[in-house]
């Protein structure tokens, strides 16, 4: 008997397939949204699916518009034990059916409905077997109603007592068997343990062994705690969920206010995606705006998944496969792409000499004189190319394109232009690249870009229509003479495309898989983040060798012990060994510390001098002369 067509694949199966493919965004806090819209805490919120369905539906719809691909039913406390306290014990089925239908009406076929199952509210420590059976049956009854209502998955959440969590899973299994996926989420304290002291990693292993399809952490004390807990679950090798609340609420003028901003959530969503978390969303205190920010991070992860298609596949992604436009052609008759070595002076040097690139940032104000003078000094000292960041750390600076053109015209130096996905949508990115090519820019280093929360204007909108893989694919198409829709340009661009890599990435496997996708998307050169551990760099260079891409090793001379500690503890992808930090501490401060930082950088560069195509030097704090000190006698 033949299998059913993919269009008829049951939603539960489609949900698990989607989880395996990439990130899905879960909605935010239902209860706090109800509260914010004028319903006080003395009302049973689960009953509102019957008495105020339009309110619940509107909240669901707001989350879907914000980018949620999974909406939770308003059934967190819709089990018999909790409802009995409000006199609704006999309305379990009614509430759960109504809640599922409202969630489905809001989501339609665009995503998935998660049947939400919260704790009973009882302390089980002193319970006998009969009481435990009563709690288990309450979960079973609720799960049956949610399944009957058409939920695509069951989400057991905010469990603090291990024994209650296990009873919930038992009850759910009795109700649905393996017919619906189970996502199991716990809430932990600052020590990353449950109420009885069980470490999150231990309960995670138990949930995996019980056959839960996704495990994770929700609520807790905000994003930092959830992130730390999820890191403990990574070694379990099972899809993970991270759904934090918006921090610990404060009472202001007789109202509870959550203080974690949507921008802050966007930053943590980026970090969760980089770890490989598959379900990200918000719990108490999170709003549609929080979810909108998280959805931007999810779009970048989805772009990486889309990169697994053929090189000519789509540049952009949507909620479902049906949103992807037809595959455009990869060549235009009569137009010949430019050979790599002919694209730029930099491209022609790779493999023939040890290439040095030094980063010079655009000014914060209107006067580029100091940056141009720094570039002149570096070129006189033997630097091959000046690379210019694109709003690094989301700071408001002069356009790097403008500075690059000034440098090329006034100094005759070749530049390497950073291009990030934060500030431009697809149309803007096309215009930016075509304009750069018309102005003589030939070298690009493509990155995703730091989120606005890190910079001067945290309320600025992040775009991220394309991540680094998407921009590389765009540049490759322009090099082939076609626009994103497959229409001929009337000529070809000749961009030489570099890409970034983090040898010390926390989720190294994911980082390397993305690097493979970047090569397929058109990357011709790898530029690494700074590396201070020879073992880490050796692993990366060995793993990268089969890719056949030249590597410029990142070198950032440390300026002080404080600088070293900041990079090690606060900058993702940076690992500075303790012996290096100890050396910086012994060096003290000022010129002596900078001298030691240069010595460490020189040692690192000398160790790999014959294994890489060149160096990518990032002078700290605008001290460009340190780049020449690092080069002296080695290059």
Which of 206, 133, 132, 272 shows the shortest CA–CA distance to 572? 272
Residues 493 and 434: beta-carbon distance below 8 Å: yes
- Angle, in degrees to the nearest 10, between helices 223-233 and 200-209: 50
| Opening angle at CA 568, ends 562 and 574, nearest 5 | 135
Quote the distance between the C-alpha of residue 532 and its chain's center: 24
Paired with 255 in beta bridges are: 252
Task: Supply the DSSP symbol for 554.
Answer: E
Residues 261 and 267: beta-carbon distance below 8 Å: no
- CA distances (Å), 225 to each of 29, 231, 284, 571, 594, in order? 18, 10, 14, 18, 36
| 309 in a known ligand binding site | no
E-state strands within 177-291: 182-186, 214-219, 240-244, 250-252, 255-257, 279-280
- Cα dihedral sign for 285, 291, 294, 298? positive
Which of 415, 407, 417 shows the shortest CA–CA distance to 446? 417
Quote the distance between the C-alpha of residue 579 and its chain's center: 31
Separation CA 15–CA 104 (nearest Å):
15
Record the tokens describing residue 165, joined without a space: 């969590």
In degrees and rounded to multiples of 5, residue 281 shows phi and psi of -175, -165
| 219 in a known ligand binding site | yes
E-state strands within 531-571: 551-555
Give residues with Cβ within 8 angstroms of 553, minimum separation 6. Answer: 528, 531, 537, 604, 605, 608, 612, 614, 615, 616
Residues 579 and 554: beta-carbon distance below 8 Å: no
Residues 487 and 515: beta-carbon distance below 8 Å: no
Separation CA 593–CA 325 (nearest Å):
55
Binding residues: 219, 283-284
Binding residues for Zn(2+): 219, 283-284
């Amino acid at each position: 008997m033949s299998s059913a067509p993919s269009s008829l694949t049951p939603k539960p199966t489609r949900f698990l397939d989607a989880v395996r493919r990439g990130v899905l965004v879960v909605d935010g806090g239902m209860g706090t949204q109800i509260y914010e819209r004028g319903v006080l805490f003395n009302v049973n919120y689960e009953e509102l699916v019957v008495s105020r369905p339009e309110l619940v539906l509107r909240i669901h719809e707001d989350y879907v518009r914000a980018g949620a691909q999974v909406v939770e039913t308003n059934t967190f406390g819709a089990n018999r034990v909790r409802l009995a306290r409000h006199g609704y014990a006999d309305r379990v089925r009614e509430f759960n059916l109504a809640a599922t239908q409202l969630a489905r009406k809001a989501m339609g076929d665009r995503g998935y409905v998660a049947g939400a199952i919260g704790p009973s509210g009882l302390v089980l420590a002193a319970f006998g077997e009969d009481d435990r059976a009563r709690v288990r049956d309450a979960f079973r009854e609720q799960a049956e109603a949610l399944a009957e209502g058409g939920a695509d998955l069951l989400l057991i959440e905010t469990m603090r007592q291990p024994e209650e969590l296990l009873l919930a899973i038992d009850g759910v299994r009795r109700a649905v068997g393996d017919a619906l996926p189970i996502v199991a989420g716990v809430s932990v304290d600052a020590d990353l343990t449950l109420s009885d002291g069980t470490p999150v990693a231990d309960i995670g292993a138990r949930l995996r062994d019980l056959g839960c399809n996704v495990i994770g952490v929700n609520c807790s004390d905000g994003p930092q705690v959830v992130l730390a807990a999820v890191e403990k679950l990574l070694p379990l090798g099972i899809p993970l969920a991270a759904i934090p609340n918006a921090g610990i609420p404060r009472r202001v003028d007789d109202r509870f206010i959550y203080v974690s901003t949507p921008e802050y959530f966007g930053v943590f969503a980026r970090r969760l995606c980089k770890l490989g978390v598959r379900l990200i969303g918000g719990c108490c205190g999170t709003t549609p705006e929080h979810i909108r920010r998280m959805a931007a991070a999810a779009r970048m992860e989805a772009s990486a998944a889309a990169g697994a298609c053929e090189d000519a596949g789509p540049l952009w992604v949507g909620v479902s496969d049906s949103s992807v436009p037809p595959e455009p052609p990869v060549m235009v008759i009569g137009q010949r792409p430019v050979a790599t070595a002919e694209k730029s002076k930099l491209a022609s040097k790779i493999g023939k000499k040890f290439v040095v690139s030094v980063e010079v940032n655009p000014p914060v104000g209107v006067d580029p004189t100091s940056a141009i003078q720094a570039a002149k000094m570096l070129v006189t000292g033997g630097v091959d190319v000046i690379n210019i960041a694109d709003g690094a750390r989301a700071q408001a600076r002069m356009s790097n394109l403008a500075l690059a053109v000034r440098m090329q015209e006034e100094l005759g130096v070749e530049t390497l232009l950073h291009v990030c996905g934060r500030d431009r949508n697809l149309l803007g990115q096309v215009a930016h690249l075509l304009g750069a090519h018309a102005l003589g820019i030939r070298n690009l280093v493509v990155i995703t870009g730091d989120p606005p929360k890190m910079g001067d204007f945290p309320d600025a909108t992040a775009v991220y229509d394309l991540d680094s893989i998407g921009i590389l694919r765009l540049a490759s198409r322009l090099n082939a003479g076609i626009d994103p829709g497959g229409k001929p340009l009337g000529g070809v661009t000749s961009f030489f495309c570099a890409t970034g890599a983090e040898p010390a990435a926390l989720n190294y496997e994911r980082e390397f898989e993305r690097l493979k996708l970047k090569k397929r998307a058109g990357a011709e050169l790898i530029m690494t983040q700074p590396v201070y551990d020879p073992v880490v760099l050796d692993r990366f260079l060995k793993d990268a060798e089969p890719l056949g891409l030249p590597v410029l090793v990142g070198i950032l001379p440390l300026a002080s012990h404080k600088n070293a500690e900041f990079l090690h503890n606060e900058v993702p992808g940076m690992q500075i060994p303790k012996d290096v930090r100890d050396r910086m501490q012994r060096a003290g401060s000022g010129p002596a510390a900078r001298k030691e930082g240069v010595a460490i950088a020189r040692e690192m560069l000398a160790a790999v001098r014959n294994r890489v195509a060149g160096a990518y030097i990032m002078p700290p704090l605008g001290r460009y002369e340190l780049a020449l000190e690092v080069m002296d006698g080695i290059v």
